Chains A and B, each alone.
Chain A
Amino acid sequence: MPDDGTIEPLIRLRGIGKRFGAVRALDAVDLDIAPGERLGIVGHNGAGKSTLMQVLAGTLTADAGSIAIAGAVPRGYDVRRAHALGIGCVFQELSLCPNLRVFETVRILHHGLRGFGWPRRARRLIGAALDAIFPGHAIGTDATIGALPIGQRQMVEIARIFTETDRALRLVILDEPTSSLGARAAEQLLDFIRQAAARGIACLFVSHRLQEVLSHTDRVVVMRDGQVVADAPAAGLTRARLVAHMGMTGGETARGEMAQAASARPLRVDLALPGGALRAHAGEVIGLAGLDGHGQRDALLRIFAGQHGRAAYVSGDRPREGVFPLWSVARNLTVGLLGRLAHAGFLRPAEERALADAWRSRIGIRTPDVAQPILSLSGGNQQKVLIARAVAGTADILLLDDPMRGVDVGTKRDLFAAVRAEAAEGRCVLLYTTETAELEHCDRTYVFYRGAITAEIARETLSEERVLRASFADAG
């Protein structure tokens, strides 16, 4: 890679600092990005990755430091400037307006799309981008965003960034782009990024999937506590080295955990579906797998609706389905157990606080104070609050809908340990995930295809290949 100092870097960040109240999110970060370079950024939740991406994308203004782009320091750097300079960003939290149609979202990015016939041009732009990145995507350009499953919304958001009208794209920032994509779409995206890099488009890639980062980037930067702690070519790195840099011990495997003799326990869930019934007993962790948008989420929602008060739901789609943005960490946590905390319809502040503090230390929510606003937390820490909200209640059934989106390896391990502990206490856990590795935490896994169950796999016989085969049931 052009790291020999002869080529002017595309981006040069020097001494970038950013604070949110008492939380120091970025501390004197230096970073260079060369044209056409694929740079991976990894780090645990709250390490400052997303904040750095937002500073670079112009959606946050740094408190300190300088940004130079292609050798020049833009004045009043913001989203508009970033866009004009050819910097595009796909955020971790989906940011498309749900009421718009696919082609209309392009208009928001490209103000040049105006006058008679813009919808036609917009359709062509987004259609071509989708075809180029995700061949065989099956997304109509007239579809309403809100009606698309989360994976397809993410695909539209990614494709939209790669549309070009009046300015050439120079840098694409992808914050956890693959966490809500299925395996196939993720692979397509990573391939496309390689092609784009060859055309000179640099790509900044934030992910918790370390293997993905190692095999699809040129250089990897590790962040910890708002600082860059390592910066090295990807070729010389291993997963274990990265994990060590991130400040965590390696190795996360669920195999060998005690298998439960569950069939003797009471049946908690019995949902009739095409292809068979989804059954779950007390004390079991059940996986729901398959490509995104094939009926797993509908199954969870049907169970939730049918089990009023006995099931708790955790969604990975935090802004739409999890977070109450005006509230503190504590209130976001206790909102799921109002009934339990109430004395004659009223809550006691001291009790609420004690409960929130207890969960903060129990699952390690990184905040100086549970009275801080929930939005001051990083995505992964917000997710911990949502999981605590569900687990702290008395629900017999925990429904986890892709709950580890944007959650780092260490946190994931802690949360899965918590989930298994809950199951051991006699709860029944249903986990929908598109990551096969997460299925290793499940006693049994049901694979979905077009709303039907195509396979039921016990943990002992689980393999990526079996899951994939069942995910394409009638395609081969």
Chain B
Amino acid sequence: MNSARRWLDTNPWIWSLCGAIAVWGLTIASVGGRGAGATLSTALGFATFYVVVGIGQMLVISAGPGNIDLSIPSVMTLAGYLAMGVMQAQDARLALGCAVALGVGLAAGVANLVLIRGLKIPPMIATLAAGFIMQSMTIAYSRGSTAKPAPLLLAASLARVGSVPVIALIFLAVAALVALGLARSVFGRSVLAIGQNPRAAYLAGIRIGRTMALVYILSALLAALAGLLLAAYSGGASLNMSEDFLLMSIAVVVLGGTSIAGGQASVAGVWTASLLLYLIVTMLNVFGVGAGLRYILTGLIIIGVLAVAKGRPTA
């Protein structure tokens, strides 16, 4: 009993996994058992985008109270637009487009850092402000530009092995690497130490500046990568392509069991929560629930999972 409790405490992703399986089961049951595999396959594809930004957000949130990256959706859109614009739907310009997207990510991460570490602006305000600026740049740039992906990239974003999307496989591997890195690398330990007790981390000789720089730059790079892939996957960039991602990037982190107080991250949880959130939308669509009610139910389900997962006594 006691060890089971401890196992649950250290593996909080199990709750969102149970939720995802339940929702998937309900959905399939409601249509008489058809399309189970197809639903899962689609969910894996869409959930991947939440995972990509979720991992970045998770690193930021794990670095302790106050740390959050609200510029993620703006970085995604800007990176998606610029990359598509540079590619001009030609495979020959694919590499250049990808480089531009990652360049946007790097620049956005550095900009956030300058605001947060240099000017000492709280991360919530700093990343929101940086996000607004990037959003405006995207709007200005988007006028009269083509925003179609190179055919090769489009094909890659849609490719499947059997019925499993290739991008899902890639980011399953990436997630595993990040989990290993958090547990065993100097960088991972540094992030989690700062997240628990920044003062003690400083006195223990942790390089705070370097670690925080890497955290925010990784978050922005992952957002840019997500923007690039989503633009390709959707057949082109659009101004509203990332409007869901502000809330989702945070929801998948928290639902997955990462501590909002910092110092404890759950990479597996980012995956299971992403699947859960996408499957909820699918289920409500299958049930024919209208958009308004769908948002309400989504919110209630998130609250429900959090209540179960966090319902342990604080001793």
Residues in chain A within 8 A of chain B (CB atoms):
21, 304, 309, 312-313, 315, 320-327, 331, 335-336, 338-339, 342, 345-349, 389, 393, 395
B187 at the interface (CB under 8 A from A): yes
Q: Type the 1/0 row for B190-209, where 1 means its CB is closer than 8 Å to any CB of A.
A: 10110011011101111000
Closest to A347 in B: B184
Contact of A323 among B200, B259, B264 (CB under 8 A): B200
B204 touches A389 (CB 8 A): yes
B160 at the interface (CB under 8 A from A): no
B310 at the interface (CB under 8 A from A): no
| Chain A min CB distance to B260 (Å) | 13
Pairs of residues from A and B, 7 with the lowest C-beta to C-beta distance, nearest first: A313-B203, A338-B186, A324-B196, A336-B204, A342-B186, A347-B184, A326-B263
| Chain B min CB distance to A327 (Å) | 7
- Give residues 231-289 of B contacting A (CB, 8 Å): 259, 263-264
Given contacts A324-B193, A324-B263, A335-B206, contact A347 B200 (CB under 8 A): no
Q: Type the 1/0 row for B167-192, where 1 means its CB is closer than 8 Å to any CB of A.
A: 00000000000000100111101101
B186 touches A304 (CB 8 A): no
Residues in chain B within 8 A of chain A (CB atoms):
2, 181, 184-187, 189-190, 192-193, 196-197, 199-201, 203-206, 259, 263-264
A321 touches B205 (CB 8 A): no
| Additional pairs, 8, CB under 8 Å, beyond known A335-B204, A349-B184 | A304-B203, A313-B203, A315-B200, A321-B197, A324-B196, A324-B263, A339-B205, A345-B185
A322–B193 alpha-carbon span in the complex (Å): 11
A277–B199 alpha-carbon span in the complex (Å): 27
Closest to B197 in A: A324
Task: Name 29 interchain pairs, CB-CB below 8 A, sorted by A.
Answer: A21-B2, A304-B203, A309-B205, A313-B203, A320-B197, A320-B200, A321-B197, A321-B199, A323-B197, A323-B200, A324-B192, A324-B196, A324-B197, A324-B201, A325-B196, A325-B197, A326-B196, A326-B264, A336-B204, A338-B186, A338-B189, A338-B190, A338-B206, A345-B185, A345-B187, A347-B184, A347-B185, A393-B205, A395-B205
Chain B residues closer than 8 Å to A331, beta-carbon distance = 189
Closest to B261 in A: A326
Chain B residues closer than 8 Å to A313, beta-carbon distance = 203-205
Chain A residues closer than 8 Å to B200, beta-carbon distance = 315, 320-324
| Chain A min CB distance to B286 (Å) | 40
Given contacts A320-B199, A325-B196, A349-B184, contact A312 B264 (CB under 8 A): no
A335 touches B203 (CB 8 A): no
A346–B182 alpha-carbon span in the complex (Å): 10
Chain B residues closer than 8 Å to A393, beta-carbon distance = 205
A321–B205 alpha-carbon span in the complex (Å): 12
| Chain B min CB distance to A401 (Å) | 9
| Chain B min CB distance to A403 (Å) | 12
Chain A residues closer than 8 Å to B190, beta-carbon distance = 338
Chain B residues closer than 8 Å to A336, beta-carbon distance = 204-205
| Chain B min CB distance to A379 (Å) | 15
Given contacts A304-B203, A321-B203, A326-B263, contact A347 B186 (CB under 8 A): yes
B264 touches A346 (CB 8 A): no
A346–B196 alpha-carbon span in the complex (Å): 20
Closest to B2 in A: A21
A324–B203 alpha-carbon span in the complex (Å): 12
| Chain B min CB distance to A215 (Å) | 36
Chain B residues closer than 8 Å to A389, beta-carbon distance = 204
A393–B259 alpha-carbon span in the complex (Å): 30
Closest to B204 in A: A336
| Chain A min CB distance to B194 (Å) | 10
A346–B181 alpha-carbon span in the complex (Å): 8
A339–B186 alpha-carbon span in the complex (Å): 7
A320–B202 alpha-carbon span in the complex (Å): 11
Chain A residues closer than 8 Å to B2, beta-carbon distance = 21
Chain A residues closer than 8 Å to B201, beta-carbon distance = 324, 335
A347–B181 alpha-carbon span in the complex (Å): 9
A339–B204 alpha-carbon span in the complex (Å): 11
| Chain B min CB distance to A103 (Å) | 25
A346 touches B185 (CB 8 A): yes
A335 touches B189 (CB 8 A): yes
Chain A residues closer than 8 Å to B185, beta-carbon distance = 342, 345-347
A313–B206 alpha-carbon span in the complex (Å): 12
A345–B177 alpha-carbon span in the complex (Å): 13
| Chain A min CB distance to B310 (Å) | 15
Closest to A312 in B: B205
A326–B184 alpha-carbon span in the complex (Å): 16
Contact of A315 among B193, B203, B206, B263 (CB under 8 A): B203
A331–B185 alpha-carbon span in the complex (Å): 12
Chain B residues closer than 8 Å to A304, beta-carbon distance = 203
A346–B259 alpha-carbon span in the complex (Å): 24
Chain A residues closer than 8 Å to B264, beta-carbon distance = 326
A309–B210 alpha-carbon span in the complex (Å): 14
Chain A residues closer than 8 Å to B263, beta-carbon distance = 324, 326
Interface centre among B197, B201, B205, B259 (most CB of A within 10 A): B205
A365–B150 alpha-carbon span in the complex (Å): 61
| Chain A min CB distance to B304 (Å) | 25
A114–B190 alpha-carbon span in the complex (Å): 44
Given contacts A326-B263, A326-B264, contact A347 B205 (CB under 8 A): no
A404–B43 alpha-carbon span in the complex (Å): 56
A326–B191 alpha-carbon span in the complex (Å): 13
Closest to A310 in B: B205
